């Protein structure tokens, strides 16, 4: 009986120690390289980890957007980073608008004077009372033509504003190599007559 009791007591003392030792042996230490990666990741701020996801993607340059913006003259050019064209556009449109307004006023003035005269009325236009009827009519026709020409040119300038914005919108990302060069060198070319074997010429070399 005593030997059996002794075995039970010894088993109760050593069995927990053996189980704990087995558990500790199963927990192998983490390799140094893996531990350093884990520590670095744990210490890295969240903004660094999400940097690739939060980086804004720049939208491509849109020629269509440049065209729509240029319905307001100069806005498409500003979108294409060519703001220096805006004063030119508005100077042309402003000058043509003034020319059309002035020509229309003179046209109407001479038209009314001519109609007054052909209907039997006395000359009323100050500064032109001594002009014959034919001259008054010619002045009316001339100012009418100037008015129409100013309108056509203004429409053409507005259309060029649209076309310019659209074309340069396509060329916005076009890159020209800084190494491009053109060299002109004198050379001798075989002559086609029998008087001289060679004739002087110029050679053009384009490098890009």
DSSP string, 14-30: HHHHHHHHHHHHHSPPP
Over the stretch 16-67, which tens digit does the pLDDT of each residue have? 445 444 554 445 555 554 455 445 544 545 444 445 445 556 788 899 999 9
Question: Predicted confidence band at 203 (pLDDT cuts at 50, 70, 90)?
Answer: confident
User: Across residues 97-120, what is the average pLDDT?
Assistant: 94
Whole-Å CA distances, 151 to 22, 73, 91, 92, 158: 99, 16, 15, 12, 11
183 touches 192 (CB < 8 A): no
Question: Predicted confidence band at 179 (pLDDT cuts at 50, 70, 90)?
Answer: low
pLDDT of 188 over the 90 cut = no
pTM, two decimal places: 0.59
What pLDDT is stored for residue 205 in this prediction? 72
**In percent, how much of the chain has pLDDT > 90?**
45
Q: 108: closest CA among 147, 162, 163?
A: 147
pLDDT of 125 over the 50 cut = yes
Question: Predicted confidence band at 183 (pLDDT cuts at 50, 70, 90)?
Answer: confident
Please provide the average confidence, as pLDDT, over all residues in the chain. Answer: 77
What pLDDT is stored for residue 198 in this prediction? 66
Whole-Å CA distances, 30 to 16, 36, 85: 26, 10, 67
- The region of weakest confidence among 92-96, 117-121, 124-128, 180-184 is 180-184
What pLDDT is stored for residue 178 in this prediction? 64
Rounded Cα gap, residues 140 and 128, in angstroms: 13
What pLDDT is stored for residue 116 in this prediction? 92
Buried-state track 169-197, b at ≥16 Cβ within 10 A, e below 16: beebeeeeeeeeeeeeeeeeeeeeeeeee
Q: Which residue carries 């002035």 as its tokens? A: 102
User: Across residues 90-95, what is the average pLDDT?
Assistant: 97
What pLDDT is stored for residue 107 in this prediction? 96
pLDDT of 99 over the 90 cut = yes
With a CB cutoff of 8 Å and minimum separation 6, the contacts of 158 are 73, 93
């Amino acid at each position: 009986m005593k030997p059996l009791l002794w075995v039970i007591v010894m088993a109760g003392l050593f069995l927990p120690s053996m189980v704990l030792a087995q558990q500790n042996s199963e927990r192998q230490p983490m390799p140094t390289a893996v531990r350093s990666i884990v520590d670095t990741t744990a210490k890295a701020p969240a903004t660094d980890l999400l940097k690739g996801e939060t980086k804004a993607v720049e939208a491509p340059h849109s020629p269509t957007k440049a065209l729509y913006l240029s319905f307001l003259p100069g806005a498409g050019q500003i979108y294409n980073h060519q703001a220096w064209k805006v004063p030119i556009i508005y100077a042309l449109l402003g000058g043509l608008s003034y020319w059309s307004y002035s020509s229309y006023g003179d046209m109407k003035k001479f038209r009314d004077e001519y109609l007054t005269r052909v209907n039997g009325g006395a000359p009323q236009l100050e500064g032109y009372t001594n002009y014959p009827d034919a001259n008054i009519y010619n002045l009316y026709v001339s100012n009418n033509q100037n008015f129409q020409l100013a309108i056509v040119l203004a429409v053409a300038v507005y259309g060029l504003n649209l076309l310019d914005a659209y074309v340069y919108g396509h060329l916005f990302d076009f890159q020209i190599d800084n190494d491009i060069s053109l060299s002109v060198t004198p050379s001798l070319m075989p002559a086609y007559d029998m008087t001289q074997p060679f004739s002087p010429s110029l050679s053009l070399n384009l490098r890009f």
